[in-house]
Amino acid sequence: GEDVEQSLFLSVREGDSSVINCTYTDSSSTYLYWYKQEPGAGLQLLTYIFSNMDMKQDQRLTVLLNKKDKHLSLRIADTQTGDSAIYFCAESLGGATNKLIFGTGTLLAVQP
């Protein structure tokens, strides 16, 4: 079945790197996404990676994909207090609908 799992909570100090992990089950996933959700807001698209890539870098963000282990990670360099939010991993199933399956989210708390 389709399932995406994330750890619930991560706490880091300002200036450190944060690594948020995600595992998924569907081997036919085409794209994998990272979204950020701040309190009372919708989901902001951060970055995404095509399933035939193993790494993507975008400014402070680095996405690593291990397709064999179905493991995705998001690294945030030089984490700032403004990065405090819930981070959602999502896999897209492709096909006619390209449906997204979301994880339960990881709450990132950045300590000053």
Partner 1 sequence: EAGVAQSPRYKIIEKRQSVAFWCNPISGHATLYWYQQILGQGPKLLIQFQNNGVVDDSQLPKDRFSAERLKGVDSTLKIQPAKLEDSAVYLCASSFSVNQPQHFGDGTRLSIL
Which residues here bind partner 1, judged by CB under 8 A? 4, 30-31, 33, 35, 40-45, 48, 88, 90, 94, 96-100, 102-105
Using CA atoms, how far apart are residues 52 and 36, in angstroms rounded to an integer?
A: 23
CB of 63 or CB of 105, closer to partner 1: 105
* Nearest distance, CB of residue 39 and partner 1, angstroms: 11
Q: Which residue type, as a one-letter code, is found at position 103?
A: G
Q: What is the DSSP string of 37-83?
A: E-TT--EEEEEEEETT-SEEEETTEEEEEETTTTEEEEEESS--GGG
* Nearest distance, CB of residue 15 and partner 1, angstroms: 29
CB of 14 or CB of 47, closer to partner 1: 47
